[in-house]
A and B are shown apart, each in its own frame.
Chain A
């Protein structure tokens, strides 16, 4: 998928997300929509990094490390189904991968400033 398509996919995933409050039911869509978003987000970040390398001629090892971490975490994150118990790891893999992606993006931004 192209970067534009990945962004479109991310927007679609965000449109499925809902805010919840205490006492609401936890639906499988809640973590799944986040996971779907982050997968596209990781792909988009990779494409951005390729663009970054092309434009700047630089390679940032830390960005690669963080993208690798994000990929590793996302590969472990599972898609939950109705009836599954949402475990702490389901949540943590998502926030960990999101954090790694954020780092990668931040490093590229800093390099461009």
Chain B
């Protein structure tokens, strides 16, 4: 844009006119141009002699100026007078092709802006009124007022768009619409101006400007003009209108887009890294739960896979960015070529001015580089910006690449950690977090059982060894039994009892039976141990298996009970063997018979064992079954007799343990039925039973069989029961796990303790379903507790000092 001030042509006092439109009146006279009138620094166009209507009269503000843009600004201080009144007084600017100045032909294209004094409330003949207007020439050959102050002036135009690219002249003056001589005038202050979007100043001005200048100064001036042309001219001669600034925008945009893309890429990349680290962090620090660890590892593995997938996506995005960079560099090259073309075209514009420019520019290219730099500043900016952008992209690319490497590195670390985790898991499990301190029994169980992983190997071995020991003992016991039997037989032979003699026949059977029973006993026991081992294995390496474990524990308990029933059969057989002995009857029959009564199941088991034994000893099953039935009948008979009561009285001293034993059997057997009704009760009863077993049952049975006559039998029974109890101990430990677990859930729910009489909460790390955090109240309680502790210390100090 170039401002053309009134002062620029101050000394030019030639009056001019243009024809506004055709109305039948011709040009009559030109106005008089007066300086410092009506006041100092004002220049006035005055109708000293009659001027006719349909014309615009005034003085030149700009002449032969080539308009290269579509924005025109007028600003200044003005005044006007009309002999009639202020409704006719007006001032304004007329922009027309230069060749229509003082040409009484209506110009084909024009813009005339008129301010009427009355319209703005200005008095007739007054001056110094500020007026401002910003116009826009639209491609549809209209003119818009973009801004105006104090208000919109009247704007008349004809083909205004055609003015762009033409040499135009601007007149300031008044519009005359009246034929009479009204002494009309319009004035403008010296600093008033019209701002035109000029491509260059007029050739003459340039030529004048060059006069008297040395070549360097001249070059500098040309350079400035050239630069101003770039800066001020939205339009250059590429075709007709080529916006150089438009180059800037796409170039800038194009160069920034990859930056933005890479930047945006960096953010998710960073998030990915952080997300992955967070997940690892959570895994390492947030979880110390051995049982759920496996699932956690799997879950984290999936997270890792997800990260990998996202990484792949990121790499692909990065590749796309690379393509974009390539495209951008090509785009820049294209733009550069276009720019050069436009420059070339600019230089070839068939204009005298450009011709001169070309000559000067040619010279400029040979002058010191400083001049060149100034001359091509704007273009250089365009060139440099993309390079900088590419440089920045390079930096970001490097950053992104490093981030990717870091991601991969972190991932590799994570994989390493994952591979180590199973090993670490146990370590962490044992070391544990504080939560496990309340779960010490569980830890101890696991730890003592063979230091976790070794346990699974050692325990079956131990069981086998135990079984072997038992078998060994069994052998010895059998031998002893045989010996005792012989003694007993010797004793019994002296008794004239047919039944006893019959019993003697069965001695072989009875000596073999314990072996078989114990052997059979060892199988479920071994199975039990294996099952428990497997349970622990499941527990350690599997998912959360408490439900399974509980079921399994009680299933195995029932197995143990079955073993018990078999053992009971053993008792019965010995009862049969010594059925004729009053002493035996008194000491032993009652407990055994009570055992029989406890459950039909026991009776059936007896029959079953008889059946099994019949195949061993070759005794017909029917006969054995009959014997069993007879035995039961005999027992019933015995119980109906007074002698039994005598026996009962004799065992009163053992009533309590016996009852507990029976209760144990009863409760344990009941579990079979309860299992169908729900585990909680099973657990409760099993715990009860196990407690009894561990505390009193063993003693009861031990005492029960501390009878001289059963010497070897006692050893056998002791072994058998110890074995069973050892299994029960095992069961108990598992049950204890459950029980402790149940207790453990209480602290989670909010079991706490007081601290200085304030409810205080300990916080536990545990599986997600029991997630717990340190709450604000936890912290506040600590603060209060500290204050109370300080008070306590002070009071105690005073008390001690006063002593």
Contacts and interface: CB of A to CB of B under 8 A. Distances in A.
Interface of A: 3, 7, 10-11, 13-14, 17-24, 26, 30-31, 34, 37-38, 41, 44-45, 48, 51-52, 55-56, 85-96, 98-99, 101-102, 105, 108-109, 112
A22 B764 CA distance: 19
B799 interface: yes
B763 A10 contact: no
B739 interface: no
A14 B716 CA distance: 69
A25 to B, nearest CB: 11
B800 A51 contact: yes
A53 to B, nearest CB: 10
Given A10-B793, A41-B786, A102 B800 contact: no
Given A7-B793, A52-B800, A95-B755, A88 B786 contact: no
B547 interface: no
Contact of A88 (B772, B782, B799): B772
Identify which of B434, B435, B761 gathers the most chain A CB atoms within 10 Å of its CB. B434
B343 to A, nearest CB: 58
A55 B803 contact: yes
A14 B787 contact: yes
B256 interface: no
A93 B762 CA distance: 9
A37 to B, nearest CB: 5
Interface in B752-802: 753, 755-756, 760-765, 772, 774-776, 778-780, 782-783, 785-787, 789-790, 792-797, 799-801
B789 A101 contact: yes
Nearest to A34: B782
A7 B790 contact: yes
Given A94-B782, A102-B755, A88 B764 contact: yes
Identify which of A85, A95, A99 gathers the most chain B CB atoms within 10 Å of its CB. A95
Contacts of A109: 792, 795-796, 799
B775 A22 contact: yes
Contacts of A88: 433-435, 762-765, 772, 774
B673 interface: no
A20 B780 contact: yes
Contacts of A24: 776
B285 interface: yes
Contacts of B800: 48, 51-52, 55, 112
A91 B762 contact: yes
9 contacts: A7-B790, A10-B793, A17-B786, A21-B776, A48-B796, A85-B285, A89-B434, A91-B762, A98-B782
Contacts of B803: 55-56, 112
A112 B799 contact: yes
Given A20-B779, A30-B779, A88-B774, 4 more contacts: A11-B790, A20-B776, A41-B793, A109-B796
Contacts of A3: 797
A34 B789 contact: no
Contacts of A55: 800, 803
Chain B residues touching A, majority SS: helix
Contacts of A18: 783
Nearest to A102: B756
A34 B793 contact: no
B789 A105 contact: yes
Contacts of A37: 786, 789-790
Count class of interface residues, chain B: 35 or more
A105 B801 CA distance: 15
Given A20-B776, A92-B762, A98 B785 contact: yes
Nearest to A47: B797
A98 B789 contact: yes
A19 B783 contact: yes
Contacts of A90: 774
Interface of B: 281, 285, 433-435, 753, 755-756, 760-765, 772, 774-776, 778-780, 782-783, 785-787, 789-790, 792-797, 799-801, 803
Contacts of A44: 793
Contacts of B794: 7
B742 to A, nearest CB: 21
A1 B567 CA distance: 71
Contacts of B755: 95, 98-99, 102
A38 B435 CA distance: 22
A95 B762 contact: yes
A95 B782 CA distance: 7
B697 to A, nearest CB: 36
Contacts of B778: 91
B277 to A, nearest CB: 13
A41 B797 CA distance: 12
Identify which of B285, B775, B783 gathers the most chain A CB atoms within 10 Å of its CB. B783
B786 A92 contact: no
B285 A87 contact: yes
Contacts of B783: 14, 17-19, 34
Those 8 A-B pairs whose CB atoms lie nearest each other, nearest first = A88-B763, A89-B434, A92-B434, A20-B776, A17-B783, A55-B803, A91-B774, A37-B786
A74 B365 CA distance: 82
Identify which of B753, B756, B793, B801 gathers the most chain A CB atoms within 10 Å of its CB. B793
Given A55-B803, A88-B763, A92-B763, A105 B797 contact: no
A19 B434 CA distance: 25
A7 B782 CA distance: 18
Contacts of B789: 37, 41, 98, 101-102, 105
A105 B761 CA distance: 21
A14 B780 contact: no
Contacts of A95: 755, 760-762, 782, 785
A67 B205 CA distance: 102
A56 B763 CA distance: 39
A98 B797 CA distance: 18
A19 B778 CA distance: 10
A28 B179 CA distance: 94
A98 B793 CA distance: 12
B389 to A, nearest CB: 36
A102 B792 contact: yes
Contact of B786 (A21, A23, A38, A51): A38
Nearest to B800: A51
Contacts of A45: 793
A95 B754 CA distance: 10
Contacts of A20: 776, 779-780
Contacts of B763: 88, 91-92
